[in-house]
Structure 1
Amino acid sequence: MSQLESWRRAGLLPRHRRRGLGRGRGSVVDVVDPVVVESAAALVRHVRQGRDRRLAVLDWFAEAGTLLVRPGAVQVPEPPIGAVRQALVWVLERSVSQRLVAFARSAAGAGEEEQDALYAFAGRLVGPYRGSAHPALVRAALETGEDVPVEAEGPDFRSMVHLVAAIGLGAQEVGVDALAEAFAAFGMFGLKVEDWAQMLGAAERGEGPPVDWGMFERHADAVGSVKRASDEELVRARTVLVGLSGFYCVYVLYGLLLPDTPALAALRQRIDDLGVFPILDHVIAVNPSPGQFAVGLTVCLEPFFDNLYEVLMEQLMEGPDIFRIPGDETGAVGFGETWMRTLRELPGAGGASAGAG
C-alpha cells in the first residue's frame, strides 16, 4: 500500500472514487476503477528497485501506444502526460546527442585545439557503428549461403559529427567536404558524398538554393522541442514513431526471408522510391531503451517524419493484406508457416532435408 500511495503522491496513479459514509464514519470505494487498476499494473511492470521512476514512465508511455495484438487484451491506460514530458526532458538532457551539441557550442570560437577536442569527444561517444546492410543484400546472402559483403554496410555514422560541429562552430568552419560526408552518412534519398558536395558547393557559391542551417540548430534542441510541443503533439509523435517502427521492421524482416507478398513488395517499393530506408535505419530502434525511445519520439515531432508516416499509411491502405500469400486461404497463419519453413530450409540450417539422410 505504501508503494501505491507513493505513486499517488507523485501524480502517477489516480485514486478510486470514494463515497462518504457520513457522520465521521469515513468513506468506502463502491466501484473499482479499471483505469486505476491497469495504471497500477503498468507501474508494477516497469518500476524496479534502483531504477529511476522517470524511465518507468517512458516505458509505460511507449507501451500505451503499442497496437493490441491479442484478442481480448486490455488497452493500457495513458500515463499522466505531464510526467511523460518531465521524463522526456530528463532523459534527453543526459543523451549522447545533447552532450555532443553542448560540447560543440562550448567549442565555438575557442580555437583549433578545442575543435580537435570536439571530434575526439565525439569519437569516444559515438563509436564505430556503421549503418545496417541493406535487407535485399542480406536476403540474397542467406538464399545463397554466402556472407553479406562488407561493402553492403552503410557509411560510418561517426562522420555525422560534422553536422554537430556545424551547429556549434558554424558551417563555414566545418567546410563543404566534411558536411557532404555527414549528409551522405544519413543515406538520404540515395545521394552520395559527391552529390552532396556538388549541391552544398553550389549553395555556398550562391548558384543553388541556400541551406537553412537554422533548421539544424532547431533540430538539435531536442529538449526545447519537447518543452514546446503540446500534449497532443507528443502523443502524435508516439503514433508516428510506432508506425514507422512497424514499417521499418517489416522491411528488415524481408532480409530475413519474410515471404514477399505483393502488398509487402509495394510497401517496400514505396520506401525505396522515397529513398528513406537509411533514415529509418538511423532513427528506429527495434527494441528501444527508454533513452532511444525518447530520442526517436523527439525526432518524430518533425513534420518530415509525420508526412512520411502518412505516405506509408496510405500505401498500407492501398494494399492491407501484407501478410496474406495469394491463393493461401489460411491468411496470416499460412504466411507464418511459410516463413518458418523457408528458414528451416536455408543452406546449412539443418532442416528436414539434412536430417533425412
Structure 2
Amino acid sequence: MTASQLESWRRTGLLPRHRRRGLGRGRGSVVDAVDPLVVESAAALARHLRQGRDRRLAVLKWFAEAGTPPTTPGTVPVPEPPVAAVREALVWVLQRSASQRLVEFARSAARASEESQDALYAAAGQLMRPYRGRANPALVRAALEAGGDVPAEVGGPDGRSMVHMAAAIGLGAQEVGADALAEAFAVFGMFGLTAEDWAQMLSAAKRGEGPELDWGLLQQNADLVTRVQRASDEELVRAREVLVGLRGFYGLYVLHGLLLPDTPAQAALRQRIDDLGMFPFLDHVIAINPSPRQLAETLAIFLEPFFDNLYDALMEQFATDPDIFHIPGDETGVVGFGRRWMRAMEELANGRRVVNDGADHQDPGEGALVQVG
C-alpha cells in the first residue's frame, strides 16, 4: 500500500488516524506510538481491495472477515470496519441486485397499464434463475456407503415459479391467487411444506378458517434496501453473527453427506433443523464462501427476527451437547475423529468404502469393502 492510498482511506472514513502530539507553536506534530487498530485496519483493507474492485466490495469482505472466528490460537482479531461504511456498501450492492431491480419493476408495474403487468412477468422470468436444491445429505451418504449412484439434485418446485412472488409484491396477492403463491412459497421448502400444503393454508386463511395473513409484510420485507437502511448498527452486526452461525450448522449438515463421522451431537443438530424443516431454505440462501454480493443479500434476509430465533434454537441445542467431533468410545477425541474421516475419504477416492461404519479402530484396508461407482 502507498501513502496516498492510506490518506484516501482516511478521507473516506475507512481508516482512523494515529494519535498525534503537538510539538509546540510552529513545530508541527508527531506520532509517539503506532496504533495497532490502525495497522490491522489498513492490513484488512489491503487484503481485500485489489485493482479493479470497488472499495465498497472490499468493505463487505472486511466485514465478513471480522465476523469470522480466528482458526489459529493467538491470532490477532481482525478489527471491525466502520458500520457506516458497511451500511453504505450493503445499500450500494443491494440497489444493483436482480432482486431489488425486480421489486422496483414490480412496484412501477402496479401503477401502470395491463401491458406493464405482462412485462413484469416477462422480466421476472428472465431475472429469476431456477433453483436446483442440493440432494439431502443423508441420501448422498447412503449412496456413497452402498456404492450406488449419488443423487445430484433434489426434486421439487421449479424456481421459476418465484415469478408469482414478484407479481404479488407489485400487483398484490389477491391478483396472483393462492395456488400460484403456494408454488412460489414451496420453492424455499420451509417447514417441510409442499405446494399443496401451502395452497390449503392460504385457501383456509382466505375463507377465514385460519390465521389472517398480512400481505403487506410480504411487500415490505421484499425491499432489502429499506430493510438495511432501517436496521440499527447492532442489528447489522447481529445479522452477521446469525449468518456465520447458521453457515456453520448448514456446513455440518452438508458434510454429513460427505462421510463426516457421525456423532450424537451432530445427529441432534440435524434433527433440530429437520424438525423445523429448514434445510432446503438454508441450502437456498447460504453460500459457504460467499461473494460480497451474496453476502449482502443473505445478510439483509437474516435481519428478520425469525432467523435470529432459528440461530438461538440451534445454539441452545449445541450448548446441550457440544461434543460434535467426539465419537463415543474413542478416547483420542478430535484427533481420532479427523483420522477416521481422512480414512473414509481416502477409501472413497480409491474406489473403496468400509461398510462396517462402526469399526472405529480398524486399520485402513480392514473390514468389508465395496466398490464405489
TM-score by length of 2: 0.90
2:23 corresponds to = 21
Q: Distance in 1 between matches of 2:248 and 2:79?
A: 21
SS at 1:333's partner residue?
helix
- Where structure 2 has 5 or more consecutive residues not aligned to the other structure, the ranges are 354-363
Distance (whole Å) between structure 1 residues aligned to residue 171 and residue 252 of structure 2:
39
Q: Given the alignment, which residue of 311, 324, 327 partners 1:325?
A: 327
Q: Does structure 1 residue 46 correspond to structure 2 residue 48? A: yes
Is residue 12 of structure 1 aligned with residue 14 of structure 2? Answer: yes
Aligned position for 2:253? 251
TM-aligned CA distance change 1:111 to 1:173, over 3 Å: farther
Could you say which residue in structure 2 is the equivalent of 1:80? Answer: 82
2:357 is matched with which residue?
none
How far residue 144 of structure 1 moved from its aligned partner, in angstroms, is 2.1
C-alpha separation in 2, matches of 1:112 and 1:197:
26
> Which position in structure 2 is the counterpart of 1:34?
36
After TM superposition, list the pairs within 5 Å mapping 1:140-155 onto structure 2.
140-149=142-151, 152-155=154-157
Give runs of aligned pairs for residues 294-313 of structure 1, distance below 5 A: 294-313=296-315
Q: Which residue is equivalent to 2:170?
A: 168
Residue aligning to 1:157: 159
Alpha carbons 1:144, 1:347 under 8 Å: kept: no
Structure 1 segment 133-144 matched on structure 2, within 5 A = 133-144=135-146
Post-superposition Cα deviations, 1:33-75, rounded to whole Å, max 9, x if no partner, equal 1100000000000101111100000110111001121111110
CA distance in 2, matches of 1:154, 1:341: 34
Q: How many Å apart are 1:305 and its aligned residue? A: 0.3
Deviations 1:109-159 (A, max 9, x none): 545543332232222222233122111111122222322347733432221
Residues 150 and 58 from structure 1, CA distance in 2 versus in 1: closer, same or farther, beyond 3 angstroms? closer
Bigger mean CA deviation after superposition, 12-21 or 155-164: 155-164
Q: 1:41 to 1:345 in 2, by over 3 A?
A: same
Task: Sort the Cα spacing of 1:110 and 1:39 in 2 relative to 1 into closer, same or farther, 3 A.
Answer: same
Distance 1:113 1:148, change over 3 A: farther
Contact (CA 8 Å) 1:237, 1:301: kept in 2 or not? yes
Match of 1:70 in 2: 72
My pick for the range that moved more, 44-53 or 17-26, is 17-26
- Counterpart AA for 2:177: G
| Residue 280 of structure 1 pairs with residue 257 of structure 2 | no
Using the alignment, how far apart are the partners of 2:113 and 2:248 within structure 1?
A: 45
Paired residue type of 1:128: P
- Measured in 1, the distance between the counterparts of 2:154 and 2:221 equals 29
1:348 is displaced (CA, Å) by: 5.5
Query: Once the two structures are superposed, what CA deviation does each residue of 1:281-333 show, in whole Å capped at 9, x if it has no partner?
Result: 12211111111101111111101000001000000000111011122233222
Q: Calculate percent identity across the aligned residue pairs.
A: 75
CA distance in 1, matches of 2:37, 2:342: 39
Letter paired with 1:250: L
Greater displacement, 146-155 / 268-277 = 146-155
After superposition, the C-alpha distances for 1:58-98 in whole angstroms (9 at most, x for unaligned) are 11011100112111111000001111111111011111111
The 2-side partners of 1:143 and 1:95 are apart by: 41
Q: Is the 8 A contact 1:101 1:164 kept in 2?
A: yes
Q: Which residue is equivalent to 2:130?
A: 128
Partner of 2:228: 226
Equivalent residue number for residue 361 of structure 2? none
Distance 1:134 1:112, change over 3 A: farther
* Aligned residue identity for 2:273: I
CA contact (8 A) 1:145 1:347 kept: no
Q: Which moved more, 1:327-336 or 1:306-315?
A: 327-336
Aligned-residue offset at 1:350 = 6.6
Deviation track 1:227-267 (CA, whole Å, cap 9, x = no partner) reads 11111111111111111111111111111111111100111
Q: How many residues align?
A: 354
| Distance apart, 1:226 and its partner CA | 0.9
- Of 321-330 and 115-124, the range deviating more from structure 2: 115-124
Partner residue in 1 for 2:243: 241
| Aligned partners of 1:159 and 1:182 also within 8 Å | yes
Taking the aligned partners of 1:52 and 1:91, their CA distance within structure 2 comes to 10
CA RMSD of aligned residues (A): 1.8
- Equivalent AA in structure 2 for residue 194 of structure 1: E
**In structure 1, how many angstroms separate the alpha carbons of the residues matched to 2:331 and 2:4?**
54
Unaligned runs of 5+ in 1: none
Cross-structure match for 1:102? 104
Stretch deviating more after TM superposition (205-214 or 10-19): 205-214
Counterpart amino acid of 2:282? L
- Deviation, 1:24, is 2.1
- Cα distance in structure 1, aligned partners of 2:236 and 2:349: 46
Separation (CA, whole Å) in 1 of partners of 2:83 and 2:177? 42
Task: Decide whether aligned partners of structure 1 residues 150 and 296 sit closer, same or farther in structure 2, where only a CA change above 3 A counts.
Answer: closer
- 144-153 or 257-266: which moved more? 144-153
1:172 shift after superposition: 1.4
Q: Which moved more, 1:20-29 or 1:131-140?
A: 20-29
Are 2:219 and 1:217 aligned?
Answer: yes
